[in-house]
Structure 1
Amino acid sequence: MGSSALTFLCVKVHFHSGVSPGVQDLPGNNAHNRHPDRQRNSMQTIKCVVVGDGAVGKTCLLISYTTNKFPSEYVPTVFDNYAVTVMIGGEPYTLGLFDTAGQEDYDRLRPLSYPQTDVFLVCFSVVSPSSFENVREKWVPEISHHCPRTPFLLVGTQVDLRDDTNTLEKLAKNKQRALTSESGEKLARELKAVKYVECSALTQRGLKNVFDEAILAALEPPDNKPKKRCVLL
């Protein structure tokens, strides 16, 4: 499936209000065949929640994807929710994108964003080994506790910084180095993520693919892990 075939238009909305008239088509997907009950509904919703340490680029990821431009000035701590209309197999879906704050101060509030989630993006920066370790130590345990049957993707962000001399020098001073794609893929297998993907919000390399894969994960969960929307009791 080529991501180049997808286009979209998004508008800033409160999640329960209207959506944009944009089109983002995933060719070759027939939602009716997989989910006959969806034929009765005019608009299905795919809720995608983004989690990960602070400063790994979650907000820039969402802003760059939805506006097609990397934010050059102020970046808010928590990105406002956006909705994108996507066409899948000729049927309209709403892709709702939800940012979360990674700081510990928000640990009790963050799970309030989790109900009805269809897919998570668990993010780490490829130039932040601590954020990589926190995927295993904090983020996957957290979403698995609240939403044990909801699929998630592991996302490596800021891949453009793998070639940034200043960043690499800072890592070297701490006897660290940038994380490789192989490291991400290995962790994804270990934690049973749907898959590992990586991107740069700055250059947009791999950016569209992240959300294409998120949509597919929400609609086509792994056979051994039936999808279930997150419900907090």
Structure 2
Amino acid sequence: MSPLLQKLIILGDGCCGKTSLLIVFVHGTFPEAYVPYVFDHYISDAINIDGQPVALALFDTGGGEDYDRLRPLSYPQTDAFLICFAVDNRNSLENVRQKWIPEVNHFCPDVPVLLVACKTDLREDPRVQRRNRRIVTTEEGMEVTKGIGAHYYIECSAKLGEGVTEVFRVAAAACLRVGPSNLHAQRRRCVVL
């Protein structure tokens, strides 16, 4: 059986962990140096979801304001959005509500959304604790998930490799649960003018 190809767009503020998450999933190694990507894409190996092989077309996007007009050009035919935030940056979670969900709802209102907490290893990092930064808790992430109407909430640490594969397995499963007839209807709605 040939794999279904599902398109995932990864959104979130700059430096929230989007690119590291993608690189660890696709290449299996954590990038030690920060390399900002504006727009990049990867095709994953097929993963098995309930007997159906699924390959993922993964689109990394620029989170900065400079790309607000360009970013939506990558949205047509999107099967799911991963909206990422960093647990050590409360502003990145607030921007999920203020920027990312409104943008997704405007361009692709019926496409599944997963809220992804990145950098969970920093919850135990003494350097973060010494700076008295309030870390976003799992409970807070789940509360935001309900408030924005996201389909799933999942946490990961690309640095430690924890939860990375699960993020993409859950996303692929969410795409399949929508069903082929619904996907085509959603794709017609995901239009950029």
Q: Same fold (TM over 0.5)?
A: yes
**What is the Cα deviation at residue 72 of structure 1?**
1.7
Which residue number corresponds to residue 215 of structure 1?
A: 172
Listed as ranges, the gaps of 5+ residues in structure 2 are none
Higher relative contact order (Cα pairs below 8 Å, separated by 6+ residues): 2
Which residue number corresponds to residue 196 of structure 1?
A: 153
Q: Distance in 2 between matches of 1:169 and 1:129?
A: 17
Highest CA radius of gyration, 1 or 2? 1
**What is the Cα deviation at residue 61 of structure 1?**
0.6
Aligned ranges 1:128-167 → 2 under 5 Å: 128-167=89-128
**What is the Cα deviation at residue 165 of structure 1?**
1.4
Q: Distance in 2 between matches of 1:141 and 1:220?
A: 23
Q: CA RMSD in A?
A: 1.9
Which residue number corresponds to residue 22 of structure 2?
A: 62
Which residue number corresponds to residue 108 of structure 1?
A: 69
Listed as ranges, the gaps of 5+ residues in structure 1 are 1-38
**What is the Cα deviation at residue 74 of structure 1?**
4.7
Aligned length: 186
Q: 1:153-186: CA deviations, max 9, x gaps? A: 000000001111112222x2xxx40010000011
Q: Distance in 2 between matches of 1:153 and 1:84?
A: 18
Matched, 1:117 2:70: no
Displaced runs of 4 or more, over 3 A: 87-93
What is the TM-score of this pair, normalised by structure 1? 0.74
* 8 Å CA contact retained: 1:59, 1:79: no
Q: Distance in 1 between matches of 2:39 and 2:68?
A: 17
Q: Give 3-state SS (helix, strand or coil) of 1:61's partner.
A: helix
Which residue number corresponds to residue 21 of structure 1?
A: none
Q: Give 3-state SS (helix, strand or coil) of 2:62's partner.
A: coil
Query: Residues 73, 136 of structure 1: CA spacing in aligned structure 2 closer, same or farther, 3 A cutoff?
Result: same
Which residue number corresponds to residue 71 of structure 1?
A: 31
Matched, 1:180 2:140: no
